[in-house]
Copies of this chain bind each other. A is one copy, B any other.
């Protein structure tokens, strides 16, 4: 079951969008698999300290996007085929990376300097040479 254990509530954007983003990124990384059960709306509401209606909005939109499937009375399940997965992956990777590249460019940062900065911030656990 998707437990939302490592989910952290930010303060930058709407909560329901953060939840949708979390699920999509989980699908891309593979930590969320097809057929997996979602945590119930009430349980997630209690876990995050967020109103049930806000959770419902996120789940409803996920269903409209064809990412989860809900049967009244039972838990909602993830339902994505390989095509959807690949589309979500491509979309998120391009969106996020393009936004970062544009930010760096608008600040006049050269490509090499930007990549070096990203490498630094990544943490670099295994030092090369």
Contact = CB atoms under 8 A, between A and B. Distances in A.
Interface string A82-125: 00000001011111111111111011110100110111011011
Interface majority SS (helix, strand, loop, mixed), chain A = helix
A128 B101 CA distance: 13
Contact of A121 (B89, B101, B107): B101
A31 interface: yes
Contacts of A106: 22, 25-26, 29
A129 interface: yes
Contacts of A94: 121, 127-129
Q: Which 7 A-B residue pairings sit nearest by Cβ, starting from the closest?
A: A29-B108, A100-B100, A28-B107, A25-B106, A96-B103, A25-B107, A111-B122
